[in-house]
Chain A
Amino acid sequence: MTTETAIMKNPVEGDSMQISNIVLSARGLRKAFGGQVVLDDISLDLRQGEVVLLRGENGSGKTTLLNILTGNLEPDRGELHININGSRETFEFPKPWWKELNPFDHFTPERLAWEGIGRLWQDLRLFPTMTTLENVAVAALNQKGENPAWALLFPKAKREEVQNTEASSERLKKLGLSERLDSSCNKIAFGQMKRVAIARAIQAGAKVLFLDEPLSGLDKNEIAEVMGYLKDLVKGNSITLVIVEHVYNIPKILKLADTVWTLSNGKLTANKVNEINEEQKTDKLDLHDLLKSIAVEKGRIYSEELPNGARLTTAYPDEYYGSEFALQVKDLVVNRGIRTVINRLSLSLKKGQIAILEAPNGWGKSTLLDAIAGIHPIESGKIMLYGEEITSIPTHKRIKKGLSYLRSQMSVFGSLSVKEHQKLSNARNYLFNSSLNRDSKGSFLSGGEKQKLLIDILPEADVYLLDEPMMGLDEESIFRFKKHFKNLLIKNRTVLIAQPSIN
Chain B
Amino acid sequence: MNYIYHLLIYLDIYIIIAMSLNLLMGYGGLLQLAHAAYYGIGAYVTALLMVKLGWGFFPAIILSSMVSGILSLFVSLPAWRFKGDYFVMLSLSVQVAIYSLLYNWTDLTNGPFGITGIPRPVILGFKFDDIKSIFGLSTAFALLCGAVMFILLKSPWGRALKAMRDDELAARGLGKNTRLLKLQAFFIACAMVAVSGGLYATYVSYIDPTSFTLDESILMLSMVVIGGIGNFRGPIVGALTLIAIPEILRFMNIPDAIAANARLLIYGLLLIIMAHVRPQGLAGEYRFK
Contacts and interface: CB of A to CB of B under 8 A. Distances in A.
A137 B159 contact: yes
Interface string B102-134: 000000000000000000000000000000000
Contacts of B167: 125-127
A108 B174 CA distance: 11
A80 to B, nearest CB: 16
A130 B166 contact: yes
B173 A113 contact: yes
A402 interface: no
B152 A127 contact: no
Interface stretch (B91-99, B175-183, B268-276): B175-183
Contact of A113 (B80, B160, B172, B285): B172
B172 A108 contact: yes
Interface in A190-207: 200-201, 204-205
Determine which residue in B151, B158, B165, B174 has the highest number of CB atoms from chain A within 10 A of its CB, and name it. B174
Contacts of B286: 129
Interface in B121-169: 148, 151-152, 155-160, 162-163, 165-167, 169
Interface in A91-110: 103-104, 108-110
B157 A127 contact: no
B166 A141 contact: no
B170 interface: yes
Interface string A119-140: 1010001111110001001111
Taking residues whose C-beta sits less than 8 angstroms from the other chain, chain A's interface range is 35 or more
A126 B171 CA distance: 9
Nearest to B181: A146
Q: What is the interface of chain B mostly: helix, strand, loop, or mixed?
A: helix
B166 A128 contact: yes
A70 B174 CA distance: 11
A475 interface: no
Contacts of A127: 162-163, 166-167, 170-171
B230 interface: yes
Determine which residue in B80, B152, B162, B170 has the highest number of CB atoms from chain A within 10 A of its CB, and name it. B170
A146 B160 contact: yes
Nearest to B180: A104
A188 to B, nearest CB: 15
Contact of A130 (B156, B163, B188): B163
A141 B172 CA distance: 11
A440 B78 CA distance: 30
A430 interface: no
A148 B152 contact: yes
B162 A110 contact: no
Given A103-B80, A129-B285, A204-B174, A147 B157 contact: yes
Contacts of A137: 156, 159
Nearest to A130: B162
Given A126-B167, A201-B174, 15 more contacts: A72-B169, A104-B179, A110-B174, A110-B176, A121-B170, A125-B173, A129-B230, A139-B175, A141-B174, A145-B155, A146-B160, A148-B152, A151-B155, A151-B156, A157-B155
Interface of B: 80, 148, 151-152, 155-160, 162-163, 165-167, 169-179, 184, 188, 230, 285-286
Interface of A: 70, 72, 103-104, 108-110, 113-114, 118-119, 121, 125-130, 134, 137-141, 143, 145-148, 151-152, 155, 157, 161, 164, 200-201, 204-205
10 contacts: A103-B179, A110-B176, A114-B175, A121-B173, A138-B156, A138-B162, A139-B174, A141-B175, A146-B155, A151-B155
| Closest CB pairs A-B (n = 8) | A113-B175, A151-B155, A145-B156, A125-B170, A127-B166, A109-B172, A109-B173, A110-B172
